Structure 1
Amino acid sequence: MNWSDLENANSSKLVEWAEEQPWAQAMRDCTQDADWHAEGDVWTHSKMVLSEVEKLDEWDDLSPRERTILQFTALLHDAAKPLTTRVDPVTGHTTSPKHAVKGEHLARDVLRELGCELSLREEIARMVRYHGRPTFLLERAEPAHEVVRMSWYVSNKLLHLFAVADTRGRTTAEMSRPEENVHLWKMLAEEQGCLDEPYPFGNDHARFVFFRSREPNLHYVPHEEYSCTATVMSGLPGSGKDRWLSRNLTDTPVVSIDDLRDDMGVDPTENQGTVIQAAQERCRELLRSKTSFAFNATNVVRQTRTRWMDLFADYHAHIELVYVEPPMDAILSQNAGRPDPVPEAVIRRLAGKTDVPTWAECHRLVLAK
């Protein structure tokens, strides 16, 4: 079964499909803490949430795309609980730490395998990651900053609606948080002007600074004066980053990790320290001369990207982040045609670890196929 068979399907068809999947079967075997989920296992809860999603008063007014996002979020939001569930030896309570973070990657893998298109897949994956945020809004030091931040990751309208369905789709004891707490998310998002769209920062640099600041200021509008443009490429081996550069930045200098590795005679399996140092120095040379350039590397893990972003930001560069991801079949085919192809197992492993870039990381984001 592929994406076209499931997109816009009703809940019965979705459940019928999901119950044959290993991740749903694992949820069925995963029990939960009765104080939070007296209904029992994770899969029972997920089906209840899916049912509640379609009972929402707003359901008929949603677009087909919005309905699809909510349905698949319901199916996948707790799919990583079997991977993270443990019993606290002190309290005896069952917990699932970081299940939403791992769930984002699991959801991305499931949807990629189905053939879900990139932008829709990422909306669902991020909804899975952040689905619990409205419930804990009152525990945040700066609630307004929380809804503003989330508006650049997901739709706050859909996040609120899902949180309502998630609250209703369970049987809980007294310690459950009331639904009224969830509605505060909608109220605050409306006050900040970011319920239906991302928060309107004064300019791109204001957003960039906000996400990089430990104590962000929503009303700070910095002057936009950049020394140059640093275009950061991101994508799996064989995804077509070189092709994108050749088509879009023909006269721009490129600092390529692969090219430096070849020039220095360093095998990909060897220590890459000298290659990284050479790339950093070449980037600094271009930054000091205020020359716009492209940095070409895999860059699929956010922690790795952040180190390069920090370097470019120190020189006041305008940072453009380009993520390239065609269908997996195309990636594997293109990789096989390279002089030194990366083993397929390595590519699939990297795909499972990929943090697809977001607007929170850069001044401008491009998602290319």
Structure 2
Amino acid sequence: QDPVWHGEGNVAVHTRMVLEEIRRLPPPDSGQPPETALVLQLAAVFHDIGKPLTTRWREPLDGGPARVVSPRHAEAGRNYLCLRLAALGLPWEVERAVLALTALHHHPRRLVMDDAPPALWRRLASQCPPRLLFDLETADLRGRVCPDLEGQLEILDLFRMRCMELDIWDNPDPWRDWRQAMDAAFPSRSPAFRGHALATAMSDAATGLIQSVEEGIARAWQLKDPAPEFMLLWGPAGSGKSEWIHRHGGEAAVISLDDLREEVAGKRDDQSMNGQVLQEAREQVKRHLRSGDGGRVIFDATNLRRELRSSLLELATDYGATTTIVALRTPLAELENRNRGRPHPVPRSVLVRQCERLEWPDAHEAHELIIVR
């Protein structure tokens, strides 16, 4: 770790100090979930687990001494944990909270320092309770030796006060007032339409396209009703994507990259023509979504990298579709067993590489994120 911001020593020393700070917290009050203490202790243990994966030396531009940096270590930690936490046998609500805290524990100070718009505060609160983020980041700061500690803690206090101003501090539905306004504006429309309208407004607000729910209501009149559905599956080889399609796909049009590789390159494991395969897949997505029948399209691939997901989800949104990511969260040991039993298993080295490079999907990447366990 950088000796300026972590004068206490290495990650193990810092983690122990953070855990000690968490244990000093008063017991959760009656309004908090009973698993709160366990969530915070696990988050303290794992919050910097991504640092060994990302730490490197960086030469400063001003010619000063090299510094130790760990870029995007919080997200890397969540990606590392997302298929490994299952081995602990924890309730999903505990796992979900620990993953969110690991990935987002630096965000409270960023929101304050960036003077972020309210929509980004609501987005963060919908991903993880602000009170838990505040407690973990307070412990993260107190569990280190660094300059300007009091100034950093003051920034966290500003985070807490702003959350209270926005009524998201202890609010399980940070978008509740927007949801109520959308329901009131479209009382005769289907729940699917109102959900699509709300999700679109939330996304537009987070990107700065709109500033108020009233603008979101005005823009909702442009949405298709019924809208086509675009579902993007996520999961390494052996996670059960084909089985999920068999059970839940129904009459959906399924676009499979493996099938397209077999069609274009002659073998489903031939990666040499991936550019052409992806282009054909995109053309098929366009063709199905513009058919106008409000049908469902399922994109069957590993979709482990955010860049590819983003491209496909933006394409579907441009065609007026609702978007859903279906993440099949299968434990590592089970992945290997399932892969061996597939009609077309991938080499173990490929599966290991997939698990090392995967990026867990964020809830805001699509209109909806479904976790299959």
Instruction: Provide Cα deviations, 1:6-38, integer angstroms capped at 9, x if missing partner.
Output: xxxxxxxxxxxxxxxxxxxxxxxxx5424x333
Distance 1:37 1:330 in 2: 38
Contact 2:326/2:369, CA 8 A, preserved across alignment: yes
- Judged with a 3 Å threshold, the aligned counterparts in structure 2 of structure 1 residues 335 and 204 are, in CA distance, closer, same or farther, namely same
How far off is 1:167 after superposition? 2.0
Counterpart for residue 231 of structure 2: 231
Whether 2:214 is the aligned partner of 1:204: answer no
Aligned to 2:188: none
- 1:316 and 2:317 matched: no
Q: Which amino acid aligns with 2:327?
A: Y
Q: How many Å apart are 1:187 and its aligned residue?
A: 1.6
Opposite residue 173 of structure 1, the aligned amino acid is: P
Residue deviations 1:26-52 (CA, integer Å, cap 9, x gap): xxxxx5424x33322222121111111
Q: How does 1:208-227 map to 2 (within 5 A)?
A: 208-211=203-206, 213-215=207-209, 217-219=211-213, 220-221=215-216, 222-223=219-220, 225-226=223-224, 227=227
Question: Which shifted more, 276-285 or 58-67?
Answer: 58-67
Q: Which residue of 1 aligns with 2:193?
A: none
The reply to whether residue 343 of structure 1 matches residue 317 of structure 2 is: no
Question: Structure 1's 142 and 327: CA in aligned 2 closer, same or farther, altered over 3 A?
Answer: closer
Indicate if the aligned counterparts of 1:144 and 1:188 stay in contact, CA closer than 8 A: no
What is the alpha-carbon distance in structure 2 between the residues aligned to residue 342 and residue 322 of structure 1?
21
Q: 1:266 to 1:117 in 2, by over 3 A?
A: farther
CA–CA distance in structure 1, aligned partners of residues 58 and 278 of structure 2: 42
Question: Is 2:52 the counterpart of 1:77?
Answer: no
1:50 aligns with 2:24: no
1:65 aligned partner:
35
Letter in 2 for 1:217: Q
Contact 2:84/2:332, CA 8 A, preserved across alignment: no
Moved more, 348-357 or 86-95: 86-95
Tell whether the 8 Å contact from 1:235 to 1:324 is kept in structure 2 after alignment: yes
Distance 1:175 1:88, change over 3 A: farther
SS for the counterpart of 1:251 is coil
| Residue aligning to 1:193 | 167
Comparing 232-241 with 165-174, which one deviates more in the overlay?
165-174
| CA distance in structure 2 between the partners assigned to 1:350 and 1:177 by the alignment | 41
Q: Residue 286 of structure 1 aligns with which residue?
A: 288
Separation in 1, partners of 2:96, 2:137: 18
Contact 2:8 2:14 (8 Å CA) reproduced: yes
Q: In the TM superposition, what whole-angstrom CA distance separates every residue of 1:298-353 from its partner, at most 9, and x where no partner exists?
A: 11211111110011011110112211123333322222222221112212221222
Check 1:91–1:143 CA distance in 2 against 1; reply closer, same or farther (3 A cut).
farther
Structure 1: stretches of 5+ with no match in the other structure: 1-30
Moved more, 89-98 or 75-84: 89-98
RMSD: 2.6
Structure 2 contact 229–323 (Cα < 8 Å) conserved? yes
**Are the aligned partners of 1:207 and 1:360 in contact in 2 as well (CA < 8 Å)?**
no
Secondary structure in 2 matching 1:152: helix
Question: Counterpart in 2 of 1:9?
Answer: none
Q: Alignment identity in percent?
A: 28
What is the letter of the counterpart of residue 177 of structure 1? G
The one-letter amino acid of 1:289's match is S
Task: Find the counterpart in structure 1 of residue 145 from structure 2.
Answer: 171
| Structure 1, 262-271 or 182-191: larger mean CA deviation | 262-271
Which 10-residue stretch deviates more, 161-170 or 329-338?
A: 329-338
Change (3 A) 1:58 1:184: farther
2:190 is aligned to none
Give the structure 2 partner of residue 10 of structure 1: none
Q: How does 1:100-115 map to 2 (within 5 A)?
A: 100-108=74-82, 110-112=84-86, 114=88
Question: How do residues 105-144 of structure 1 correspond to structure 2 at under 5 angstroms?
Answer: 105-108=79-82, 110-112=84-86, 114=88, 116=90, 120-142=94-116, 144=118
Measured against aligned partners, the alpha-carbon deviations of 1:132-178 in whole angstroms (never above 9, x if no partner) come to 22234432042534422312332212101111111222233347634
Q: TM-score, normalised by structure 2?
A: 0.81
Structure 2: where are the runs of 5+ without partners?
180-197
CA distance in 1, matches of 2:83, 2:347: 19
Segment drifting more, 271-280 vs 309-318: 271-280
Q: Is this contact kept in 1: 2:230–2:298, CA < 8 A?
A: yes
CA separation in 2, counterparts of 1:94 and 1:330? 37
